[in-house]
Amino acid sequence: MRFVLSVVVGLILPLTSLTAQQPRDTLSSFTSDAEFVAYYRGVLEERERARRAADSAYRHRMEASERCRQHALDLKVATGTGGAPKTAVIGGQVLTADSMALAGVQVVISPLKMGTMSGKDGRFHLLVPAESLATPRQVKVDARIIGYLPVDRTITVSRGDSVDMSVRMCDWGGVALNAVVVTSDFVVDGAAAFGQARSDQITNTQHAGVDEGGIVKAHGNHLVILRRGRLFTVAIGSATLQSRTAVDAFGPDVNPRSTWYDELLVAGDKVVVIGYSYERGGTEVGVFNINEAGALKYVATYQLRSNDYYSSRNYASRLIGNKLIFYAPLYLWGSPDDVLAALPAARRWSRGAKDSAFKRIVPPPRIYRSPQPLLGDDITLHTVTVCDLSQKNLGCEATVIVGPSGRVFYVSPNAVYVWASSWNWRSPGADERAMLYRMPLDGSAPSALGVAGTPVDQFSFLESADGQLNVLVRSEAYGDAMWLPEIARGDVALLRIPIKAFANGEDRVPWWRYRRLPAPRDSSRYEFHNRFVGTYLLYGMGSGWGRPRGDTTTLFAIQWNGNDDDRVSRLRLAHGVDRIEAMGDDAVIVGADSSDLQFTGIHLANGPSIAQRYTLPGASQGELRSHGFFYRMDSADVGVLGLPVSGAGRPGYRHLIDGSAGVLFLRNSAQRFSPLGVLGTTARAGNDHCRASCVDWYGNARPIFLRGRIFALLGYELVEGTIDGTGITELQRISFAPVEQTVAR
């Protein structure tokens, strides 16, 4: 899919430990290959029966949903029978289409700003004070809950009236959701890795101690850089920057055609490159040794069966200590007779390697069955693989759960989470079969919960130190595969669930644990962004991969560890919400209007408020990924941020094609921004004789703060600057652009 898009573009444009909180039960695994094959055969047979009935069932479902909508709300108004004198009573019962009581429905009366939740019997009761009804008044009654169509009705209410409502909630008519996940027998000590977080961490990661695959990493006195199918090292230890090594990011016996080399990680003296090959059909892990002089020596390439892991926002790989953790889906299309050959396997690549060289990395006891029926067309082996980089030969093991293909992948210092859902819109009761899986990093068995809705990306998650998992979900989101995070829509809710509630997947999260939040109504904006910062959840809409707009937008902020009575703060911004980042205990929102790049600082203590603004005229973001930003915190309320920037009005997708003009540095001091300046590029596009991975899917510019020094990575340039007084001054720069192809042997 990435290959096709790149061709089109080319044509168009020449630890806190949670041991005490472990789940009480786990998923059920298989005991043998034969049992797994029989299970898969049964899934296919059941799916075929469901497919034959799908069109008829879908039509009946739509007809029933329409009938339900036509009779969604009945009411009786009795005049002059209210409870207290001159007050009005609005009450009733919320039912499903099958006349079952529905608890946890939020009933709101606007513009009176009154609301309540339906109880276990579906009943609700609101008392309208007399002062709100000086004259007969029209009010709108709105009932909402995730998984059902909203119901609203405008009624006229007078003092003394008693309104008895029968509210019938209609389901969406067929949003298909189902689940999957993975794990490894390797034990990963997340708490220890957290404590070992080093001062040379240069990547803007979601969690300290959990490194993420990127395009630049530090190793001793060198920077290791991955770009356009090559690895580079630049020495930074002496007075002058020096280019040390430029080698292929693949081995001499590997044909790089139709292969994307995306992510780089460094563990000890090993450099690991994660890529995906459409030519060979799988995830590739290239291993190199690096010495103190910055020289790279190719060791081996390992190929793992998988489909493309790419996400426009997420990263496939994580590193905790010496344990490489990565997620990849493996879609099942074959017959039961061939399914064993599709299970996760690995081989050490050599020229002319045969399929027989693949060795299984998942035994039957590490393959877990879905707790729910799989009726969709998209059966997938969701696989998390853990590889031990401390071994001489890369040793990898995986855990798999069979499920549908929709997914969002999140790694905390303690566990891997996969939220899985189906893309089969016609599956009956689909919204009742979304699953959230938890894979502990201590190697124990995964557990699960039935859930509703779908997160947008990895930043929709936070495993908090109080033993809770917090997740923002939307009713019309589709996971983080490829570009799906960019099209999330629908209702918004915050799920907060104890980690100890995870079990064997038979339980579903009760509705009352979903806190309904206001949905953004900025219809001219393209993309939804969310982030947990401190004790707040922030979210809003931005332009993303599209062209910046010139209108305002709303930032929403809510304390995620509060209660349902806490107010949602709405802050009106003069720009879109294209990036939400932490600045110590506060946040910065970055977005472009039609001509300028805007930074808005949000102070979160004592309630969210706009504390500061800065405008960079004639500019836009140069990078969209989270790694494009970095904030160096010097003290509690003082620090410096860096962000690649480009020309005004540039659509977000152009970062795949064009480099950034420079990296902007801003000082944040006592909630006041002051510009330090831009370290800009002087390079001009030239022929780098690229042989592989010739689109910068992960960008090509980064701010780098390392041991008190400041750098800007700009394509094939590395620029060092120093802050002198009120500005940043260039000290030196180096170009490491490839002159000729070199092979690391």
Q: Which pLDDT score is estimated for 65?
A: 67
Q: 350: which residues sit within 8 A by CB, 6+ positions away?
A: 253, 357
Residue 736 counted as domain residue: yes
Q: Quick one: average pLDDT of 724-735?
A: 93
- DSSP letters spanning 33-71: HHHHHHHHHHHHHHHHHHHHHHHHHHHHHHHHHHHHHHT
Task: Please name which of 85, 66, 200 lies closest in space to residue 131, comparing C-alpha atoms.
Answer: 85
> Which helix (H) or strand (E) covers residue 4, if one does?
helix 2-12
Say whether pLDDT at 430 is over 70.
Answer: no
Query: 55: which 2 tokens?
Result: 């069109």
Q: Which pLDDT score is estimated for 180?
A: 24
Query: 29: which 2 tokens?
Result: 């695994």
Say whether pLDDT at 19 is over 60.
Answer: no
What pLDDT band is residue 12 in, cutting at 50, 70 and 90? very low
Pick the last residue of a domain from 125, 149, 169. Answer: 169
Q: What is the CATH number of the domain that holds 132?
A: 2.60.40.1120
| pTM for the model | 0.78
In degrees and rounded to multiples of 5, residue 423 shows phi and psi of: -100, 5
Task: Please name which of 660, 642, 648 lies closest in space to residue 700, comparing C-alpha atoms.
Answer: 660
- Report the range of poorest mean pLDDT among 73-87, 292-306, 311-325: 73-87
Q: Quick one: average pLDDT of 269-287?
A: 90
Per DSSP, the three-state class of 453 is: coil
Q: Which pLDDT score is estimated for 16?
A: 36
Beta strands 569-573 and 579-583 are: unpaired
pLDDT top residue among 6 and 619: 619
Q: Which pLDDT score is estimated for 467?
A: 95
Q: Which pLDDT score is estimated for 515?
A: 94
Residue 363 counted as domain residue: no
* Residue 326 · residue 361 · CB < 8 Å: no
- Report the range of poorest mean pLDDT among 95-109, 209-223, 370-384, 731-745: 731-745
Other CB atoms within 10 Å distance of the CB of residue 444: 15
Residues 217-251: pLDDT tens digits? 999 999 999 999 999 999 999 889 999 999 999 99
Say whether pLDDT at 293 is over 90.
Answer: yes
Residues 490-501: pLDDT tens digits? 899 999 999 999
d(CA 737, CA 476): 44
* Residue 442 · residue 187 · CB < 8 Å: yes
Q: Which pLDDT score is estimated for 546?
A: 59
Residue 700 counted as domain residue: yes
Residues 651-704: pLDDT tens digits? 555 555 566 779 999 999 989 999 999 999 887 767 889 998 898 888 899 999
pLDDT top residue among 17 and 452: 452
* Residue 377 · residue 47 · CB < 8 Å: yes
d(CA 626, CA 385): 23
Residue 690 counted as domain residue: yes
Residue 662 counted as domain residue: yes
Query: 572: which 2 tokens?
Result: 């009106």
Residues 461-513: pLDDT tens digits? 999 999 999 999 998 887 777 767 777 888 999 999 999 999 998 889 998 99
What pLDDT band is residue 14 in, cutting at 50, 70 and 90? very low
Pick the last residue of a domain from 169, 195, 227. Answer: 169
Amino acid identity of residue 211, one-letter, is D
In degrees and rounded to multiples of 5, residue 73 shows phi and psi of: -145, 120
Other CB atoms within 10 Å distance of the CB of residue 407: 27
**Most confident region among 412-426, 536-550, 634-648 by mean pLDDT:** 634-648
Say whether pLDDT at 309 is over 80.
Answer: no
Q: How many domains does the chain have?
A: 2
d(CA 280, CA 258): 9
Laid out side by side, the sheet with 242-248 consists of: 216-219, 222-227, 230-235, 242-248
What pLDDT band is residue 137 in, cutting at 50, 70 and 90? confident
pLDDT top residue among 33 and 382: 33
* Residue 68 · residue 97 · CB < 8 Å: yes
Beta strands 367-368 and 395-403 are: parallel
User: What range defines the domain where residue 731 resides?
Assistant: 571-745
How much of the chain exceeds pLDDT 90, in percent?
A: 43
Say whether pLDDT at 184 is over 70.
Answer: no
Distances (CA, A) of 275 to 42, 253, 262, 314, 714: 34, 16, 5, 14, 22
| Mean pLDDT computed over every residue of the chain | 83
Distances (CA, A) of 205 to 267, 411, 505, 627, 640: 16, 11, 30, 7, 17
d(CA 339, CA 323): 29
Q: Which pLDDT score is estimated for 402?
A: 85
Pick the last residue of a domain from 148, 169, 190. Answer: 169
Classify 439 in phi/psi space as left (phi over 0), alpha (psi -120 to 50) or beta.
Answer: beta
Say whether pLDDT at 150 is over 60.
Answer: yes
Q: Which pLDDT score is estimated for 96?
A: 85
Q: Quick one: average pLDDT of 339-350?
A: 89
What pLDDT band is residue 282 in, cutting at 50, 70 and 90? confident
Q: Which pLDDT score is estimated for 264?
A: 96
Q: What is the gyration radius of the CA atoms in the chain, in angstroms? A: 27
Residue 447 counted as domain residue: no
Other CB atoms within 10 Å distance of the CB of residue 171: 21
Q: Which pLDDT score is estimated for 654?
A: 56
d(CA 428, CA 57): 7
Residue 488 counted as domain residue: no
Residue 107 counted as domain residue: yes
